[in-house]
Amino acid sequence: MDMTLAVSVNDGLFCVSDGESVNVDTTRWSNGLIAPMDHGAWVLTGIHTGRVAVRTQALDHAPPLEASSWEEIVEASVYSPNGAMFVDPGYVTEELPYLTAEGPGWYRLRVHASGRSHNPDGTDDEPVEQYLLTAWPQEWIEQAVLRSSSRIEDALAAHTSEPHGKPITPTDQGRVSAERARLLRHLGRN
């Protein structure tokens, strides 16, 4: 099923969840658009607070690249232990369909984004930013930037010393980035 929903954004993020509590200590911030965790991921937005338009596609194989109207496209491997990975709608009561076409396991998550530079760190109650999240079953492989921007290039340059390997375990301390510290403050865990 393919549908679009206005998803709530807080502190410049929305969550791709697997229904379990999110362990922020496992977040890998390296590319500035998708931040995978030991399960699920964060998607980083341009706005700080408000709503963004999100469309999802759950497929059983890798699709052709739909690049024509998108400003940024990044892929990352995301683990779904329950096979119920979905975009957490935040304060919106509707939900998007699951991104997991074949139950638990590894998925490749391709995030397309447009409009992240429209109102950086601002507030938009009406969605201006657009996202397409496409997922299909695939074993873990390194992230891939398919269409870059200065925002993604800056994030990649800032995180060259962070580990990019198969997922960081909760015991991996790593380097705490400014984005990670901001997220922890937002969650009240500083």
* Strand-pair partners of 8: 51
User: Which domain does 155 fall in, by range?
Assistant: 4-186
Instruction: Tell me what pLDDT residue 2 has.
Output: 62
Residues contacting 188, CB < 8 A, separation 6+: none
In tens, the pLDDT along 19-78 reads 777 677 888 888 999 999 988 999 999 999 999 999 999 999 999 997 788 999 999 999
The residue with greater pLDDT, 187 or 10, is 10
Pairing of strands 49-58, 130-137: parallel
Question: Are the CB atoms for 116 and 72 separated by under 8 Å?
Answer: yes
Per the structure, the count of domains in the chain is: 1
Q: Please tell me the distance from the alpha carbon of residue 25 to that of residue 37, in angstroms, as a whole number.
A: 8
In tens, the pLDDT along 72-98 reads 999 999 999 999 999 987 776 678 899
Instruction: Tell me what pLDDT residue 182 has.
Output: 54
The DSSP line for 64-117 is PP--TT-SEEEEEEEEESSS--EE--TT-S--PPPS-SSSSEEEEEEEEEE-TT
The DSSP line for 114-167 is E-TTSSTT-EESS---EEEEEEEE------EEEE--HHHHHHHHHTTTS--SSP
The token pair that represents 88 in the structure block: 């957490």
C-alpha pair distances (Å), 96 with each of 13, 50, 92, 132, 133: 17, 18, 10, 12, 11
